[in-house]
Structure 1
Amino acid sequence: MKDIPSPSAVQSQILDAFNFRHACKVFDPSRSISPAEFDTILEAARLSPTSFGHEPFKILMIQSPEKRALFRDFAWGANGAFNGTDGQIGTASHFAILLANTATSMTAGSDHLMTFYREVKQLPEEVIAFLTDAYGKFQQTDHKVTSDREITDWSGKQAYIVLANMMTTAALMGIDSCPIEGFDMDKTIAVLKDNFGIDPKDYKPAVMVAFGYRANDPEFGKTRRSMDDTVSWF
């Protein structure tokens, strides 16, 4: 029987990973993440939970230097403008953009969801009818998520669950990462449409993320609010 680590060992491993992780601004360009390790990061993304299990996200892996350069002028959070480097765009082993599904696919009763229920979830028709009604109520009355912007933002929330799981998985393997919101949304949408075939009616960018190995240790230690300021018990 395979040995299972003790709870205390697992706790230490988790906390060590979270203390190790930081928003890495510059990676060592000479070091690449192995395919097997990055497959684990992507599998963590694929297995991540999402609201209603709808998986309203897509991951674009952008490895070509020429493709990455298309974002350089306006991805100010990733182009090294603040520290005089090539930034995450130029130094990361792996660079991704997480896309959020729009109302076209994520409105209750959409063709996309009907196909998803039948082909991916393999649900019986009576369960599909129940789920469609429940999700419709969630959108219309419970959370009032009905406009394209509201539905896209809801999808983006799910993409952030995926993002967090990818970064935590990476940290557990000693791999650095950095989530990036510092980019011009309209220009990013235009580049995705013109150069990657991403129709903005179907997907909008939620967040960028870079992975690799740090070039230097963090300049400052990790700071957070105290537990008492973070959590209230009732």
Structure 2
Amino acid sequence: MQKKILDAFLFRHAAKDFDAARIIPEPVFATILQAGRLSPSSFGFEPWRFLVVQDAALRAKLHAFTWGGQKQIPNCSHLVVYLARKGMDTRADSDYVRDFVDRVQALPADVQKMKLERYEAFQKDDFNLWGDERALFDWACKQVYIALGNMMTVAALLGVDSCPMEGFQQQRIDEVLASDFGIDQSQYGVACMAAFGYRVADPRPKTRQALHDVVQWF
């Protein structure tokens, strides 16, 4: 099992071009999506949304403002746009969070109160997020990247390639998402994108720092 896991990490790379003729089987991609859905997030509040963009015309709209995905967006089997909830939606006093602890997490009333008080203290005192919309959005993006990482790892375990992408004009992409996808900009902003599919060519050997250069034991 250990070898299988490490082999998947060695297999995974940021594929720059995909074989447009090869489509990921539906059950395989469903598993990748489930890996995102089941990912952990701080306080379990899942401040994400995943847009699977298969329509060529909509991909072209995104492609125009994505300098880091010129080959990936047109040719990949599946394109995912990762959205993060905007700042005030993630505050402890927001309708989203209060509904989440009640409807999704189904916590008893006394536990809800305790959790929301702890969450508010975390945002105000521990991480200094409360009054800063950009800081709250960036914090939500951190949670989204957990889902992104899990989806890419599961893809690699299934023999599927991927490429995370931040090489885009964030404001222009948000505008496209609002005008062409119907995304409410007051609730969501783009965090990143990822292309999934099958590589055209093998990459060069993986380079990483040695384990002893990045790990300290105490």
1:65-104 matches, cutoff 5 A: 65-79=56-70, 87-104=71-88
- Out of 149, 154, 160, the position equivalent to 1:164 is 149
Counterpart of 2:141 in 1: which secondary structure? helix
- Tell me the matched-pair count: 217
- What is the CA-CA distance between 1:121 and the residue it aligns to? 0.5
Q: Which runs of 4+ in 1 moved over 6 A?
A: none
Q: CA deviation at 1:180?
A: 0.2
Provide the residue aligned with 2:90 in structure 1. 106
Q: Secondary structure at the match of 1:61?
A: strand
Rounded Cα–Cα distance in structure 2 between residues aligned with 1:232 and 1:136: 33
Within 2, Cα distance between the matches of 1:203 and 1:104?
10
Question: Does the residue aligned with 1:70 lie in a helix, a strand or coil?
Answer: helix
1:224 to 2:215 alignment:
no
Q: Deviation at 1:104?
A: 2.9
Aligned to 1:26: 17
Q: Give the 3-state SS of the residue equivalent to 1:206 in structure 2.
A: strand
Instruction: Give 5+ residue unaligned stretches, structure 1.
Output: 1-9, 80-86
Q: TM-score, normalised by structure 1?
A: 0.91
**CA RMSD, 1 decimal:** 0.7
Question: 1:49-198 counterparts in 2 under 5 A?
Answer: 49-79=40-70, 87-146=71-130, 147-198=132-183
Identity %: 46
Counterpart secondary structure, 2:67:
coil
Q: What is the match of residue 6 of structure 1?
A: none
Preserved contact between residue 88 and residue 136 of structure 2 (Cα < 8 Å): no
Q: Which amino acid aligns with 2:115?
A: L
Q: Whole-Å Cα distance in 2 between the matches of residues 154 and 187 of structure 1?
A: 21
| Partner in structure 1 of residue 197 of structure 2 | 212
Residue matched to 2:3: 12
Q: CA deviation at 1:228?
A: 1.1
